[in-house]
Amino acid sequence: MSHPQQRVLIGALAAGVPADAHTVLLDLGVDHPTRAGLLELRLETADGVITRARIAPGAMHRGVEKLFEVRDPRQILMLADRHDWQAPFFGELAAVLCFEELLRLEPAPRATWLRTLLAEHTRALSHLGFLGWPVRDDPALLDRLRRAREALREQTRRLTGNRIHPMAARLGGLACDPDADWLRAEVALTEELTALAHALGDRFAATRPGAGVAPVSAAQVDSFGLSGPLARAGGVPLDLRVDAPYLAYAELRELLTPAAIPGGGDAAARFALLAAELERSAALVAACCDGLPTGPVAVKLPKIVKLPEGSAYTPIEAPLGRAGFHLVSRGGKTPWRMKLRSPSFHHVAALEEILLGCPSEEVEAALASIGYVIGDVAK
């Protein structure tokens, strides 16, 4: 049977909307990042297979790039972690690195290692959000995953005072410095994350959730600018932590070996990769705790920071892929232009091609495995 246009309403967007032959309500569960909704797919099917897909993004657009242009760097750092609320620290990290490049400001060494620690801590938190769907029918494992996410958020709160948006980055350093008790708790948490990653990996090897669903090719990675786990699961080893090391990743290079996962670039490969990268992030956090240098976590700056004339672009490896800011300054206290590069925008755009040939009943698995956060899409 063919439907000229079938609407797929995702997550909270579907609340209160009656389903019919032309409207599908898709809810991946309370844990999945798509729960926020605000993304609509328009699909055409023939004999139960998708033949055409169109995306309707932008429902959450708030003009964040224009907001940046009327705020000074310190204010921008408080706003920069709002678009990807699954991994908020990466927004402020990308912004502060961009400002520091333009200002030629060298952060304190201890702050650099702590930023690396917080980045991998946040990567683990983000990956766990996407790993709940394939274990939704295993209550014990799902509960363990939820408790790990809550423990990560509690550690964030203990260090920064905030569970979701840390707002910890500062020009030249950080606003917080962990004590010995926090570091011990973080190391203990990495041990649980490692064990959880092994349990997830074993389950995925046995069950292969999403096998053959929505494969991503190297050509699609190139044409849509895909990155992160979506690209790596498709056999394209893009990782800025390895290809263009920043923060303390050069010193941690031996822990960044490619994960051994099944090939094919399908949903099963993506879930397996996320589990493998969870273990890697735990190892990186433990290494940062062990190698953390002594010293201050901030540098002294004037009360008013004036940006020099020029431009800077600082891409980083966020949990979903390549993220960064392009900053243009005309020598004032605020940017003249500040453009955000978000991986989710590229991933959602690629859905129009990735979903072609996907059986209608497998759309759920496809969306569950293709990482995006709606705030990161709509900006």
> DSSP character for 213?
S
Eight-state DSSP code of residue 343: H
Residue 161 lies in a domain: yes
Query: Whole domain around residue 301: which residue ranges?
Result: 72-366
Let me know if residue 45 belongs to a domain. no
Assigned domain for 7 exists: no
Which of 29, 306, 20 has its CA nearest to residue 142? Answer: 29
pLDDT of residue 109: 96
Cβ atoms 283, 291 nearer than 8 A: no
Does some domain include residue 142? yes
The predicted structure's pLDDT at residue 20: 64
Return the pLDDT at 1.
42
Quote the crossing angle between the two packed helices 139-160 and 180-207, to the nearest 10°: 150
What is the structure's pLDDT at 35? 84
Q: How far is 295 from 318, CA to CA, in rounded Å?
A: 27
Q: Which residues pair with 174 in a beta bridge?
A: 169
Residue 237 lies in a domain: yes
Distant-in-sequence, close-in-space partners of 222: CB < 8 Å, separation ≥ 6? 236
- Interstrand relation of 3-10 and 23-26 (parallel, antiparallel or unpaired): parallel
Residue 219 makes CB contacts below 8 A (sequence gap 6+) with none
Q: What is the distance between the alpha carbons of residues 173 and 65, in angstroms, rounded to a whole number?
A: 23
Residue 17, pLDDT score = 63
Give per-residue burial for 145-162: e unless 16+ CB within 10 Å, then b. Answer: beebbebbeebbebbbee
pLDDT at 376 (0 to 100): 92
Per-residue pLDDT of the chain (379 residues; tens, 9 = 90+): 455 577 776 776 555 666 666 777 788 888 899 888 778 888 988 988 999 999 888 777 888 999 999 999 999 999 999 999 999 999 999 999 999 999 999 999 999 999 999 999 999 999 999 999 999 999 999 999 999 999 999 999 999 999 999 999 999 999 999 999 999 999 999 999 999 999 999 999 999 999 999 999 999 999 999 999 999 999 999 999 999 999 999 999 999 988 878 778 999 999 999 999 999 999 999 999 999 999 999 999 988 899 999 999 999 999 999 999 999 999 999 999 999 999 999 999 999 999 999 998 999 999 999 989 989 998 8
Reported pTM? 0.95
Is 1 within a domain?
no
**What total of structural domains would you count in the chain?**
1
Pairing assessment for the beta strands 173-174 and 337-341 based on DSSP bridges: unpaired
| CATH number of the domain enclosing 327 | 1.10.645.10
**Has residue 264 been placed in a domain?**
yes
240/321 Cα distance (integer angstroms): 9
Measure the N-to-C terminal CA separation of the chain; round to a whole number of Å. 37
pLDDT tens, 43-102?
988 988 999 999 888 777 888 999 999 999 999 999 999 999 999 999 999 999 999 999
200: helix, strand or coil: helix
Q: Which two tokens stand for residue 314?
A: 């600082």
